Amino acid sequence: MNTDQPGFADKMLQCKECGAQFIFTVTEQREMAEGDQPVSDPELCPNCRQKGPTTTVASGRQRGQVKWFSRQRGYGFIIVEDSREEIFVHRTDLEGVYSLEEGQEVEFEIETTPKGPEAVRVSLLGAGAQPETE
């Protein structure tokens, strides 16, 4: 296929997964054309394409266990049940509680931020799910 044809130009796109803007480069477009693939705009940024699909529970939420949480600093980390990956969590993303304790079981969603994945809409599961006040 002739890759010098008009129509190849860098394009600014937005990732459907994480919302980040990325450039679909002329080089990527030409590689698709040379590989006899249809040249179409990718829906995911290079980082999300590389990560692949994530395992989630039915509602798009995941489960995990609190690794540690600093009440003073207002953040900590959760270990994702399926992947054992450590995910950052901030106090402002907690629902119904002010802080977390090591070992608590939680349910949450993951959002990709410029600093990496972050647990959001975090709620306690089971016996530890009593509301807490500041």
Determine the structural domain holding residue 113 and report its residue range: 62-128
Provide the residue type at 78 as one letter. Answer: I
Return per-residue pLDDT of the chain as tens, 134 residues.
444 455 789 999 888 777 788 888 988 888 888 877 778 888 878 877 776 554 444 347 899 999 999 999 999 999 998 888 899 999 999 998 989 999 999 999 988 877 788 999 999 987 655 555 55
Statement to judge: residues 86 and 119 lie in one domain: yes
pTM as predicted: 0.53
Statement to judge: residues 40 and 88 lie in one domain: no
Statement to judge: residues 46 and 66 lie in one domain: no
Residue 56 lies in a domain: no
The total number of structural domains in the chain stands at 2
Q: Are 1 and 8 in contact (CB under 8 A)?
A: no
What is the CATH number for 101?
2.40.50.140
Residue 113 lies in a domain: yes
Residue 133 lies in a domain: no
**What gap in Å lies between CA 9 and CA 73, rounded to an integer?**
46
